[in-house]
Chains A and B, each alone.
Chain A
Amino acid sequence: MDPARKARLDGDFSELYRAHLRDVYSYAYYRIGNHHDAEDLTEQTFLQAYRHFERAQAESDGRPLRPWLIRIAHNLAANLYRDRSRRPQTPIEDTTALKTQHTTEDLVEGRDELARILAGIKELPDERREALIMRFSLGMDNREIARAMGKSDGATKVLLHRAIKQLEGIVTAP
């Protein structure tokens, strides 16, 4: 490859990396449930992305590459589970600080509810959990989620709807 083209590719990849490191890490963290594995998964995702970046860029036709990155993370996470044949072993650590300050009572109540939601998310089937992570942690729209999960827009919409319904059922169950 000619050096100028290589330099341009590397520059584009650095930009992608800087723009989406947090997305990939957040996805990995909520998908796996602990910081240690999330770090490994994030690193592996970017290494794999680097290897296939040129082709992905050529095939993207100008579309954003975030769904492609998340898809890599998704596949690696699936492999990790297959290899270890396990569900997340460590509970999701409490990373969520309430942004708005209320009375102590509100705060405790809010934390309890967040903890219930997080526990509920863990009970969801993998696909529904992933769709929720992509939507609410990464802020991806239906089309991006569909591309990342290899589904149609319609199927993704239904998936998200069912995931939220199921989560509501879990959280409000006595």
Chain B
Amino acid sequence: MLRMALAPVEPPAGLRTRVETTLQELTDLAVDELETWELSSMRDPRNWARPVLATAVGATAGTALVVLRVRQQHRRRQAAARNPLDLAQRTLRAASAEARRLVRR
């Protein structure tokens, strides 16, 4: 009796068409999207700008960080320096040490 009460229900014909149409549209959309993406990423020079820009921003930020750290230690170096030439040498050494430390990270 349970089997009869819960007899499988045939889906309406319209549903079959509806689901198949939606799936077909989805497949077409996916193909279009993929083709568009491939073309734009390979041929559109605007997409090349993004990685270049990212690298440039990274380099600028790194330089700014080195300058900031070297400036923070300026007074200490000034106090330790014997003359202006010695101060200049100490500043150069500090900048190069900071840059190396940043690169190692």
Where the two chains meet, the residues of A that have a C-beta atom closer than 8 Å to any C-beta of B are 10, 13, 17, 21-23, 25-26, 29-30, 35, 38-39, 42-43, 46-47, 50, 95-96, 98-99, 113-114, 117-118, 121, 132-133, 136-138, 164, 167
Would you give the shortest CB distance from A4 to chain B, in whole angstroms? 14
Contact with A along B70-105 (1 / 0, CB 8 A): 000000000000000000000000000000000000
In the complex, chain A residues whose CB is within 8 Å of the CB of B2: 117, 132, 136, 164, 167
In the complex, chain B residues whose CB is within 8 Å of the CB of A10: 27
In the complex, chain A residues whose CB is within 8 Å of the CB of B8: 22-23, 26, 137-138
Overall SS of chain B's interface? helix
* Bound-complex Cα distance A30 to B3 (A): 13
Q: What band does the interface of chain B fall in when counting residues whose beta carbon is under 8 Å from A?
A: 20 to 34
In the complex, chain A residues whose CB is within 8 Å of the CB of B6: 26, 30, 121, 132-133, 136-137
Cβ–Cβ contact B11 & A25, under 8 A: yes
* Bound-complex Cα distance A172 to B51 (A): 73
* Bound-complex Cα distance A42 to B11 (A): 9
Given contacts A22-B10, A47-B22, contact A39 B4 (CB under 8 A): no
In the complex, chain B residues whose CB is within 8 Å of the CB of A23: 8
Given contacts A25-B15, A42-B19, A43-B19, contact A137 B1 (CB under 8 A): no
B58 close to chain A: CB less than 8 A? no
B52 close to chain A: CB less than 8 A? no
B50 close to chain A: CB less than 8 A? no
Given contacts A113-B1, A117-B2, A132-B2, contact A46 B23 (CB under 8 A): yes
* Bound-complex Cα distance A52 to B64 (A): 46
B43 close to chain A: CB less than 8 A? no
* Bound-complex Cα distance A136 to B27 (A): 34
* Bound-complex Cα distance A92 to B2 (A): 15
Given contacts A10-B27, A117-B2, A136-B2, contact A35 B7 (CB under 8 A): no
